[in-house]
A = this chain, B = another copy of it.
Amino acid sequence: MATPQDRQLVEQWRSIQTTYFRTAGAIDRALESRFNIGLTEFEILDLVAESADAACRMKQLGERTPMTQSAMSKVVDRLDKAGLISRHSCEDDRRSLFLELTDAGRALHRAAAIEHRALLKENLA
């Protein structure tokens, strides 16, 4: 019933879960308390900061994160309301949006990224 391979799979899975929760939790709490944004918000900022091109991005971003389309839409909405990001409708295809960091967003991302990388290093060792 429970083969040794099964046990090993379960072990591996629990280890991934533990790492994931520990790391995500640590980052989330740190960003929340120091910058008032959650991990999810940071991850979108991080993705937008990474893509320097001016393509219609909302969609492409979705391909680079395990987030749902719905989740993304709401995170972006929060970031917009917080003044960290701006949404511009795309001329070529008016269904699409492309995103840009505001100055405040860029500054916050710069600071938060340091925290983020440090905690990754600490937790993924």
Interface residues of A (CB under 8 A from B): 1-2, 5-6, 9-10, 12-13, 16-23, 46, 65-66, 110, 113, 117, 120-121, 124
Contacts and interface: CB of A to CB of B under 8 A. Distances in A.
A66 B17 contact: yes
Contacts of A6: 117
A19 B22 contact: no
Given A6-B117, A10-B117, A16-B16, 16 more contacts: A1-B110, A2-B113, A5-B121, A9-B121, A9-B124, A10-B46, A10-B120, A12-B124, A13-B23, A13-B124, A16-B20, A16-B124, A17-B20, A17-B65, A18-B66, A20-B20
Counting every copy of the chain, the complex holds 2
